[in-house]
């Protein structure tokens, strides 16, 4: 397959590396090469099976609009834009494009999501989330932390879930879910040792998305890959 990676930062560069290692052809644009999605034209997307976005929230929205308007396929690992999610889903449906999005493409984090949903079923507990990322991460709290909160409140709508965000050095990503009662405490923790897990999940997601029309969240389809 031919993938177009948007973003040449640490994660985007690793996505390109992983895709090549899995036998795919890869092109890449950084934000300077694709201002306001101006490089995402029909000629430039000809032959591209899937676009993979790891840019910024504003750039990701412009990129999605451009790709989906042409009926293309895009995997979005960027977070901080979900206020426009319904708009992007509608565009994908109108143009028969493909959209796969997720707050975290790590398979380990997908398991954390499932365990958190189970933990939230416990009676008599208060829940909190703590997350730590690198200092250049633009959104705080992280999209993953917000997903964890959404999962807990999906089981317990009445729950108040405190999120504490830290930005430290080059931290790869740590999420801790704590359930506390007067009797005991239960802690779930996922600590990323590198960004490779995110990159591999995004590439496998792109392999899965190729040729499909519709919109999916990564946590709903990761077991199909």
Cα distances from 191 to residues 101, 135, 144, 201, in angstroms, run 21, 16, 12, 16
Residues marked active site are found at 133, 137
Residue 140 tokens read as 């705080």
- What is the SS3 assignment for 149? helix
Query: Are the CB atoms for 90 and 84 separated by under 8 Å?
Result: no
- What is the SS3 assignment for 68? helix
Query: Are the CB atoms for 210 and 116 separated by under 8 Å?
Result: no
Q: Which residues does 191 contact at the CB level (< 8 Å), separation at least 6?
A: 173, 174
C-alpha dihedral, 190 to 194 to 200 to 205, nearest 10°: 50
CB-neighbour burial class of residue 180 (10 A; exposed 0-12, middle 13-18, buried 19+): middle
């Amino acid at each position: 397959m031919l993938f177009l990676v948007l973003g040449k930062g640490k994660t985007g560069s690793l996505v390109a590396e992983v895709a090549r290692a899995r036998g795919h052809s890869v092109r890449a644009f950084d934000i300077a090469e694709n201002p306001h999605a101006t490089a995402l034209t029909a000629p430039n997307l000809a032959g591209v099976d899937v676009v993979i976005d790891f840019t910024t929230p504003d750039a990701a929205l412009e990129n999605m609009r451009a790709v989906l308007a042409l009926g293309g396929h895009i995997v979005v690992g960027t977070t901080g834009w979900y206020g426009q999610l319904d708009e992007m889903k509608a565009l994908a449906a109108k143009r028969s494009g493909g959209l796969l999005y997720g707050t975290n493409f790590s398979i380990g984090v997908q398991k954390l999501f499932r365990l958190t949903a189970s933990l939230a079923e416990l009676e008599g507990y208060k829940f909190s989330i703590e997350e730590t990322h690198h200092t250049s991460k633009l959104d705080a709290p992280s999209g993953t932390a917000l997903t964890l909160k959404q999962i807990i409140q999906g089981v317990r709508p009445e729950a108040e879930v405190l999120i504490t965000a830290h930005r430290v050095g080059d931290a790869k990503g740590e999420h801790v879910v704590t359930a506390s009662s007067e009797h005991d405490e239960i802690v779930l923790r996922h600590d990323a040792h590198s960004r490779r897990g995110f990159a591999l999940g995004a590439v496998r997601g792109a392999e899965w998305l190729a040729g499909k029309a519709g919109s999916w969240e990564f946590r709903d389809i990761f077991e199909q890959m």
